[in-house]
Amino acid sequence: MRSRLTVAFALLAAVAPAADPPPPVGSKLPDFTLPEPATGKKWTLADHARDAKATVIVFTSTACPVCTGYGPRLAEIAKKHAADKVTWVGVASHPADDTDAVAKYAGIAGLPFPLLKDDGAVLADKLQVDRVPTVVVLDAGRTVRYAGRVDDQLAPNVQRAKATTAELADALAAVLKGEDVKVPHVAAAGCKITRDNVVKAEPSLTYHKHVAPIVQAKCQDCHRPGEAGPFALTTYRQVKNWSAMIREVVAEGIMPPWHADAPHGHFKNDRRLTADEKKMLLAWVDQGCPEGEVKDAPPPRKFADGWRLGREPDEVLTMPKAVKVPASGSMPYEYLLVGKPFAEDKWVTAIEVRPEQRAVVHHIIAFMIPPGKTMLDVLGRDFGRYMLGAYVPGDQPIVAGPKQARKIPKGTQIIFEVHYTPNGKAVTDRSSLGLCYTKDAPETELQCVAVMNEKFRIPAGAENHEVKSEHTFTKATTLISLTPHMHVRGKAFRYEVVTPDGKRETILNVPKYDFNWQATYDFAKPVELPAGAKLECTAWYDNSAKNPFNPDPKKMVRWGDMTSDEMMIGFALYHDTKGNTR
């Protein structure tokens, strides 16, 4: 549950394919004029770049988290060259960026240059810009000398503490010195710009009749106002505006996010599209995104206001103070006591950890500190038993089954572990925990175990390093759900059950682990284990330079809290099969 450039990077989870069109490096850009929504004026290249030694055009978007994350970095580079006669201008070409959004963003993003609206992506087409953020550097004669990414610090799924490349800064420095740009193009990584496609005269699929039900069922849990998705997908216009990005991530199996290879029906919270749903969605985009008749639309999906528990919680515990999250940089974990010690035993039937500022919260874990225990005890080797609930991108609240509950003993204090990841805008956060109770002791007490290994060493450069852990259940046990956890070097994870007679069975296999999606896998049919059964976990790590998310492939890696360290944990939610509630 560590590291994210906002939940939003995880949700986009796509990099620029090699097939993107090359930029027109070496060609001269004609003059252009575009409106500046924040001022209502027109901005003309010839007027503003007449005496410039270089011009930097930043193609960006108000809704793409990679773009917003790069705001402080671009401001830093622009200020560094404030005295060097460099003209800077931002251009919003994505159809999701309407005039009001561009005007508002220009006022809050802190960009030290104007932001223009490129309706129909006309300028983006001239410069063959297919993805944002893309920067284009012109020399004094308005010839394109560089086009591509800013550097390698940020991308979907990637947030390095520091960039290891400096394409924009290097290109700008070379142009100002009158030298050749050594690297004139590196493909951008971010959000794909949707272009208008001609709708077929007689489309076989329409949004309201065929696509809206799919989007409601598989996308809107996250992609709606106030939730983890960086943009909403609750209207036809929103879905059409993001259709190019949707097509890419659906075709590549990145969205909806799901990483277990079990067949449909094995896990009840399986988000994957069926083969027919995927085929239909891709075909609809290819047909030009026809809207169809509103009368064919399904009723809008209704969501609980503020909470996803299905009801208002019986008690809400909120962080005692607001935490200031800066626009950029990294933050150590925050540990905050939340609420007062419980005055009596509580049986909890539903748990939701709710961040106030989802865009900058990578994860929150709510731990119980029972009487007689300290924070060090709770966060030690046996911390799984004290973990009450968590927030991670795209996951769901914990809702117990019939006559099941989790016990909070009298005198217990709740503590939050919060990991913030700045995303370009300074905010303050006061996150909360919602709890639903039952007055009567349940038939079964839910418990959590962390099957972990803290003693591993991952050699520098290792591409497929294996680490194992195991836990033996002394009583007959019923497994409810599993949650594998590693950091950015995590590659794959597998849970196996070994019964006392030696039989071995894989109950969860994640062949391509994704750090940005700390998914919990809820069994459709709970797994029954006999007394003496072992739960074995195997994790694989890629600590090589081939791993694009690896912060330092030359470093030997040990267990640690921060993203640059690693973890190996197989969480399991379970209860004794006989259901005793000790």
411 plus 452 within the same structural domain: no
Q: Of 393, 415, 442, which residue constitutes the final position of a domain? A: 442
489 is a domain residue: yes
Name residues whose C-beta falls within 8 Å of residue 294's C-beta, 6 or more positions apart in sequence. 208
249 plus 356 within the same structural domain: no
346 plus 277 within the same structural domain: no
Q: What is the CATH number of the domain that holds 164?
A: 3.40.30.10
CA separation (Å) from 178 to 130, 147, 172, 247?
28, 17, 10, 42
Tokens of 579: 């259901």
Matching residue, tokens 């046996």? 382
490 plus 517 within the same structural domain: yes
Tokens of 56: 């930097």
195 is a domain residue: no
Q: Of 254, 273, 296, which residue constitutes the final position of a domain? A: 296
The one-character DSSP state at 143 is: B
Matching residue, tokens 């069994």? 523
> Is-contact 11 362, C-beta < 8 A?
no
316 plus 264 within the same structural domain: no
pTM for this model (two decimals): 0.83
8 is a domain residue: no
Number of structural domains (the chain) is 4
54 plus 81 within the same structural domain: yes
60 plus 156 within the same structural domain: yes
385 plus 522 within the same structural domain: no
451 is a domain residue: yes
Q: What is the CATH number of the domain that holds 409?
A: 2.60.120.230
The dihedral of CA 158, 159, 162, 168: what is its sign? positive
pLDDT in tens, 417-469: 998 988 778 899 999 999 999 988 899 999 999 999 999 999 999 999 999 99
449 plus 435 within the same structural domain: no
199 is a domain residue: no
- What pLDDT does residue 571 have? 93
573 plus 462 within the same structural domain: yes
pLDDT in tens, the chain (582 residues): 333 343 343 344 433 444 444 668 999 999 999 999 999 999 999 999 999 999 999 999 998 989 988 988 898 899 899 889 999 999 999 999 999 999 988 777 778 899 999 999 999 999 999 999 999 999 999 999 999 999 998 888 777 767 889 999 999 999 999 999 999 999 999 999 999 877 777 789 999 999 999 999 999 988 988 777 889 999 999 999 999 999 999 999 889 999 999 988 899 999 999 999 999 999 999 999 999 999 999 999 987 667 888 788 999 999 999 999 998 877 888 999 999 999 999 999 999 999 999 888 888 999 999 999 888 888 777 778 899 999 987 678 888 988 999 999 999 999 999 989 887 788 999 999 999 999 888 999 999 999 999 999 999 999 999 999 999 999 999 999 999 999 999 999 999 999 999 999 999 999 999 888 888 999 999 999 999 999 999 999 999 999 988 889 999 999 988 888 999 999 999 999 975 544
314 is a domain residue: yes
Q: Of 418, 442, 466, which residue constitutes the final position of a domain? A: 442
553 is a domain residue: yes
229 plus 350 within the same structural domain: no
C-alpha triplet 153, 66, 163: angle, nearest 5°: 5
Name residues whose C-beta falls within 8 Å of residue 152's C-beta, 6 or more positions apart in sequence. 158, 160, 163, 164, 165
488 plus 572 within the same structural domain: yes
434 is a domain residue: yes
Domain extent at residue 241: 207-296
Q: How many CB atoms lie within 10 A of CB 114?
A: 18
